[in-house]
A and B are shown apart, each in its own frame.
Chain A
Amino acid sequence: MSTPANKTPSAAPAANRVGLTLADYKGARSTLCPGCGHDAITNSIINAAFELGLEPHRLAKLSGIGCSSKTPAYFMRRSFAFNAVHGRMPSIATGVHIANRDLQLLGISGDGDTASIGIGQFTHLIRRNVPVVYLIENNGVYGLTKGQFSATADFGTKAKVGRTNELMPIDLCALAIELGCGFVARSFSGDPKQLRPLLKAALAHRGTSVVDILSPCVTFNNHEGSTKSYDHVKEHDAPLHDVTFIPPHEPITADYEPGEVRQVTLFDGSRVTLKKLEADYDPHDGMAAMVTLRRAREAGTFVTGLLYVNAQKPAFDREVGMVEAPLASLPLDRVRPPRRVLEEIMEAHRSGAAPR
């Protein structure tokens, strides 16, 4: 895209550490409904990626099917993207990572794509700890098919057409923590101040990081009686802490009172500071995280922030034991064993061959 006409050379847009401007991180124009929470998330992604100075060619955008899964077209146009089939983005992510472990993977999914059709692949992605940032743009409804409940719809919430949801929701964050996910956060599309640092932290984590983002559907789930309307979420948003992301080697500039802040160091040396709000919250304590989530559900609130982190979790690629270079880059002579190997194997299958 060209730069806006009113920009003069003297007001050249600011470049980040890799020499790119914010515009370089944008994508095609969104075709979602005006005011959609997903577009706000897209904006946060664009800003987070720009501020981190991500190189577009080192990142691949992956998604499934649904409104949320359309959004990779709306940011980072210079990155490769794979918009897969419904609920199966995790398997694509696993394959892409194995082929090219140098690629950073950003997966965008929704509550339908993840909590229903994709719940199996979601759990196995976490179980393997494949390094993917897995965002759930969670609005409790199927938007593209016009407003059916999803599996994250809260008990008792009302649909636009008046039906009441009689099933308990699946809490994807609780599920992720239970499965041993090393990075689990919840946020709100309407709170970019919290979402942006959480996205950066998720991108700095090595392993699967799950960020469940409440993202109201302005068309099908924004009415009175819905627990995922913009107003309801805003009113019941209970942030655990103020989140600040500090890239590696950058000093912490703010002054904090002792005991006021918890600091989390991530795999690449970047840090997250969590400034205490009401109660102290230790994101390293998975048990406490589960209790917090359960209490919030009972209270009808949404706790947001960094729910759980374990930066030490062994990475997937180490367990698979792949070579340093991306498998996709290996030349033939590294992947076709020499002639003597075939001869050795043939000898073992010949008549009267020696035991193997």
Chain B
Amino acid sequence: MAALAFSHEGDSSLSAPTHVRINDCNLHVATVNGSGSQTANATLLRAIFQMGVPVSGKNLFPSNIAGLPTWFTIRVNERGHLARTRTNDVLVAMNPETAADDIAAMGPGTVTVVNAGIPLPELPSDRTVHVVPCGKLVEPIVPDAKLRKLVVNMIYVGVVAHLLGIDAEEIDRALGSQLGRKQKALELNRAAVNAGLEYAREHLPPAPVRIERRSLTDGKILIEGNTAAALGALFGGVTFVSWYPITPSSSLAEALQGYLERYRRDPQTGEATYAILQAEDEIAAIGMVLGASWAGARAMTATSGPGFSLMTEFIGYAYYAEIPAVIWDIQRIGPSTGLPTRTSQGDLLSAAFSSHGDTKHVLLFPASVEDCYQYGMQAFDLAERLQTPVLVMSDLDLGMNVSMAEPFAYPEEPWDRGKVLTDEELDRVKTFERYRDVDGDGIPYRTIPGQRHPAAAYFTRGSGHDEQARYTESSETYARVMDRLARKHETARRLAPGPVIDRAPHAAVGLLSFGSTAWAMDEARERLREDGLETSHLLLRAYPFHPDVRAFLASCERVYVVEQNRDAQMAALLRMDMPDLAPRIRSVLHYDGLPIDARSIVERVLHGEREEVVAR
């Protein structure tokens, strides 16, 4: 084959490379959206996972159904460093449109598999390029040309399996677990994998990065953050979900819909212990949540930036009228529509102070799929305990990509429905005033519509109200109610999950991360240590900040707040909260829509530290 002439290989190259890296590599696959590459990539990821080696997959996809370029990156790392990296070891270039750039980005010592027919640029000789005739190989397997397009990607699965040493049996199992029920599809795909594998065995040498069996993933699960969040809501006893489709949050609502349908509907009677509605827009979605929550349901919604903006007025209402609500914001990047399929942590300030007037909200920052599951439950408890919206600030990277985790634990605690007075309790208490701070924690008691007790009813309004929920324009009363709401916010500091702190003895420098940014922190700290900089680390889990956050900042000379937005939004919240400690706060910012990587953090921290020396 003519194309093969470009390949830097001869018979001698079939022997194993001299420097081999084990279980530490990045595989980058460039395909066309809608070409069925998802199954191919998931098969590779799962097979590596089944070999017991920690692995993560990141899907970089366009806002498009079919035709635009898409990339999938698999990181394999037996030390568990699974954040994004900026460089790749192996590239599979299947998309002619992006191939030139994709290939040009590969560095020395890398291996590229390129589909035959894609023109190759001039390349230095220290990059290996294998041209594989995927189309030719799949032709005899799938006679139907239309179907062929969907199976051709399985050729590279076989090729990569050979290059990296992925066990063919595990590839087969992984394929089975994805297509098991579709027998014909399974057979076709299996045949294509084998064709790729055989071709590669015959023509290509193994890559200098290899995968070897370990037992580091035993018993673990692979799951997306949005699916984990849905599971949390399911076991948290959600009774009502209202949502409006928006990337990247739709998969949360859809996963939840699937679970609810399966586990919360009586198969005999068809009766459901939940309701899920696709609203006409996000304003209606949050309105329905507030109505349901007010009337005693555990209600939630999931959205992303633009939808979150639309919910703002109602969120302010819920703050002032004190109605629980759980809102998942699966953050994507940008003002306006921005880049709908890229990740960010850019909604922090707009969430913390969502709506006009003096408002401040409780935010949770899930940093793993376990957190998504746990907060899926805890957010309800917290919202009902505090009678206020709880905003769970996930993001696209966490929500839509799979991560490894220990299997989730069944909740051993009952739910916390907060301060609700039943009719019997109303009989016992002398007076019920909806907005009276009886316990000094700023949290009043509530009753639930439908209660028969003559003292139970109250009037909920977003206009000025007194302790008895009566309309008032009294200045003193308004200020008094607002002061109590501020007191309630103070109470939230200790009710919300506190930070996780890893203190290095004698370290002057602290790093602070939250949400999906946390994934790169272990690796970054390890590299900083190699460069002679010991750091302490704080994983922030909620706003308002727990007192331990203050103590951490006070114990460090400098704290680098690592976040994925342009304007240092978390740093701003920290400075507002602790103005006396503000001079210690530095920022590491990342805001190109791609998940943050350890190298970026290391470079910026080291740069900051150098500046520090110069300043002295």
Residue contact B297 to A95, C-beta cutoff 8 Å: yes
Contacts A351-B50, A355-B176; is A337 near B235 (CB within 8 Å)? yes
Is the beta-carbon distance between B299 and A73 smaller than 8 angstroms? Answer: no
- CB of A328 within 8 A of chain B? yes
- When distances are taken between beta carbons in the complex, the residues of chain B under 8 Å from A85 are 287, 313-314, 317, 462
CB of B588 within 8 Å of the partner chain:
no
In whole Å, how far is A122's beta carbon from the nearest beta carbon of chain B? 11
Q: Is the CB of B292 within 8 A of A95?
A: yes
- A321's partner among B242, B259, B271, B408 (CB-CB below 8 A) is B271
Given A84-B317, A335-B237, A337-B263, are A94 and B280 neighbors across the interface (CB < 8 Å)? no
CB neighbors of B among A323-340 (8 A): 323-324, 326-330, 332, 334-337, 339
Name B191-249 residues within 8 Å CB distance of A.
217-223, 231, 234-240, 242
CB of A91 within 8 A of chain B? yes
A83 contacts across to B, CB distance below 8 A:
459-463
Q: Mark B444-461, 1 if CB is under 8 A from A, else 0.
A: 000011111110111111
Stretch in contact with the other chain, from A53-61, A184-192, A292-300? A53-61
Tell me the chain B residues, 140-183 only, with Cβ under 8 Å from chain A. 170, 173-174, 176-181
* Closest residue on chain A to residue B450 by CB atoms: A100
Q: Is B279 an interface residue (CB 8 A)?
A: yes
Name the CB-closest residue of B to A81. Answer: B459
A95-B290, A342-B408, A346-B407 known; A335+B277 contact, CB < 8 A:
no
A45-91 CB contacts (< 8 Å) to partner B: 56-58, 60, 62, 72-73, 77-85, 88, 90-91
Given contacts A322-B271, A328-B239, contact A57 B288 (CB under 8 A): no
- Establish whether residues B459 and A94, one from each chain, have CB atoms under 8 Å apart when the complex forms: no
CB A27 to nearest CB in B, in angstroms, measures 9
Residues of B within 8 A of A321 (CB): 265, 270-272
Q: Pick the contact of B296 from A28, A99, A322, A335 — CB < 8 Å?
A: A99
Question: Measured between alpha carbons, how far is A348 from B451 in the docked complex, in Å?
Answer: 42
Least distance between A187 CB and chain B CB atoms (Å) = 26
Cβ-defined partner of B222 (8 Å) among A97, A330, A349: A349
How distant is the Cα of A263 from the Cα of B188 in the complex, in angstroms? 67
Contact A57 B457 (CB under 8 A): yes
Residues on B with beta carbons closer than 8 Å to the beta carbon of A81: 457-461
Known: A321-B270, A323-B272. A341 touches B239 (CB 8 A): no
Instruction: Take A57-B451, A95-B294, A342-B408 as given contacts and tell me if A327 and B459 are in contact as well, using a CB distance cutoff of 8 Å.
Output: no
CA distance A62 to B289 in the complex (A): 15
Could you tell me if B281 and A327 are in contact, using CB atoms closer than 8 angstroms?
Answer: no
Chain A's nearest CB lies how many Å from the CB of B256?
12
User: Which of B180, B240, B451 is in CB contact (< 8 Å) with A327?
Assistant: B240
* Interface membership of B61, Cβ < 8 A: no
Whether a CB of chain B sits under 8 angstroms from the CB of A102 is: yes
Interface assignment of B293: CB less than 8 Å from any CB of chain A: yes
A124 at the interface (CB under 8 A from B): yes
Contact present for A352 and B177 (CB under 8 Å): yes
- Determine whether the beta carbon of A327 is less than 8 Å from that of B179: no
A62 to B550 CA separation, bound complex (whole angstroms): 44
B273 at interface (Cβ–Cβ under 8 A)? yes
Q: Is the CB of A334 within 8 A of B462?
A: no
Which of the candidate stretches B117-125, B390-398, B409-417 sits at the interface with the other chain? B409-417
The residue from A94, A327, A345, A355 contacting B273, defined by CB atoms under 8 A apart: A327
Bound together, the chains give a CA A83 to CA B291 distance in angstroms of: 11
Known: A57-B457, A85-B314. A355 touches B297 (CB 8 A): no
A179 at interface by CB-CB < 8 Å: no
A311 on interface, CB distance cutoff 8 Å: no
A78–B273 Cα gap in the complex (Å)?
29
A136–B242 Cα distance when bound, in Å, is 26
Cβ contacts under 8 Å, B231 to chain A: 342, 345
**A88 touches which of B223, B314, B407, B410 (Cβ 8 Å):** B314
Residues of B289-334 contacting chain A, CB below 8 A: 289-299, 313-314, 317
Evaluate whether A78 and B457 lie within 8 angstroms (CB atoms) in the complex, with A57-B452, A349-B223 already known: yes
Q: Please report the C-alpha to C-alpha distance between residue A345 and residue B405 in the assembled complex, in whole angstroms.
A: 13
Residue contact A95 to B180, C-beta cutoff 8 Å: no
B283 lies within 8 A of chain A by Cβ: yes
Q: Determine whether the beta carbon of B284 is less than 8 Å from that of A121.
A: yes
What is the CA–CA distance of A91 and B310 in the complex, to the nearest angstrom?
14
Q: By CB atoms of chain A within 10 A, which of B179, B242, B286, B292 has the most?
A: B292
Once bound together, how far apart are the Cα atoms of A260 and B557, in whole Å?
A: 91
B49 in the interface, Cβ–Cβ < 8 Å?
Answer: yes
Which B residue sits closest to A24, measured CB to CB? Answer: B454
**A contact residues around B234 at 8 Å (CB):** 337
Bound CA–CA A57/B423 (angstroms):
12
Distance in angstroms between the alpha carbons of A77 and B217 in the assembled complex: 61
Q: A334 to nearest B CB, angstroms? A: 5
Cβ contacts under 8 Å, A328 to chain B: 239, 292, 295-297, 448, 450
Counting CB contacts under 8 A, is A161 at the interface? no
Q: Does A354 contact B (CB under 8 A)?
A: yes
- B591 adjacent to chain A (CB < 8 Å): no
| List of A residues within 8 angstroms of B470 by Cβ | 28
Given contacts A85-B317, A99-B240, A99-B299, contact A73 B471 (CB under 8 A): yes
Contact status of A91 and B279, CB under 8 A, knowing A323-B271, A328-B297: yes
Chain B residues near A345 (CB-CB < 8 A):
231, 259
In whole Å, how far is B435's beta carbon from the nearest beta carbon of chain A?
14
Shortest CB-to-CB span from B252 to chain A, Å, is: 15
State the CA gap A353–B287 with chains docked (Å): 40
Q: Which residues of A contact B274 (CB under 8 A)?
A: 322, 327, 335
Could you tell me if A332 and B237 are in contact, using CB atoms closer than 8 angstroms? yes
Residues in chain B near residue A353, CB distance under 8 A: 177
A336-B237, A337-B264 are contacts. A91–B295 as well, Cβ < 8 Å?
Answer: no
Q: Tell me whether A120 is interfacial, beta carbon within 8 Å.
A: yes
Q: Are B291 and A82 in contact (CB under 8 A)?
A: yes
- Known contacts A84-B462, A91-B288: A354-B180 contact under CB 8 Å: yes
Q: Does A12 contact B (CB under 8 A)?
A: no
Q: Which of A88, A335, A339 is within 8 Å of B239, CB to CB?
A: A335
Q: How far does the alpha carbon of A82 sit from the alpha carbon of B290 in the complex, in Å?
A: 10
Q: Which of B181, B295, B410, B459 gathers most chain A CB within 10 Å?
A: B295
Query: Is A99 within 8 A of B287, CB to CB?
Result: no
Chain A positions within 8 Å of B49 at CB level: 351
User: A99, B292: Cβ atoms under 8 Å?
Assistant: yes
In A202-240, the 8 Å CB interface with B consists of none
Cβ-neighbour of B295 out of A57, A84, A100 (below 8 A):
A100
Is the beta-carbon distance between B291 and A94 smaller than 8 angstroms? yes
A327 to B292, CA, bound (A): 9
Tell me the bound Cα distance from A206 to B292 in angstroms: 19
Query: In the complex, which residue of chain A has the Cβ closest to the Cβ of B314?
Result: A85
B275 lies within 8 A of chain A by Cβ: yes
Which residues of B are found within 8 Å of A320, using beta-carbon distances?
A: 272, 275, 277
Please report the C-alpha to C-alpha distance between residue A341 and residue B231 in the assembled complex, in whole angstroms: 10
Q: Which residues of chain A are near B235, meaning CB under 8 Å?
A: 336-337, 342
Please tell me if the beta carbons of A100 and B449 are within 8 angstroms of each other in the complex: yes
- List 10 A-B residue pairs with CB atoms under 8 Å apart, sorted by A's residue number: A60-B295, A62-B291, A82-B460, A85-B314, A95-B240, A100-B296, A124-B279, A328-B450, A342-B235, A351-B52
A contact residues vs B (CB 8 Å cutoff): 28, 56-58, 60, 62, 72-73, 77-85, 88, 90-100, 102-103, 120-121, 124, 128, 320-324, 326-330, 332, 334-337, 339, 341-343, 345-346, 349-355
With A95-B242, A328-B296, A332-B237 already in contact, 10 other A-B pairs whose C-beta atoms are closer than 8 Å: A80-B450, A91-B285, A91-B290, A95-B290, A99-B240, A120-B284, A322-B273, A323-B273, A330-B239, A354-B177
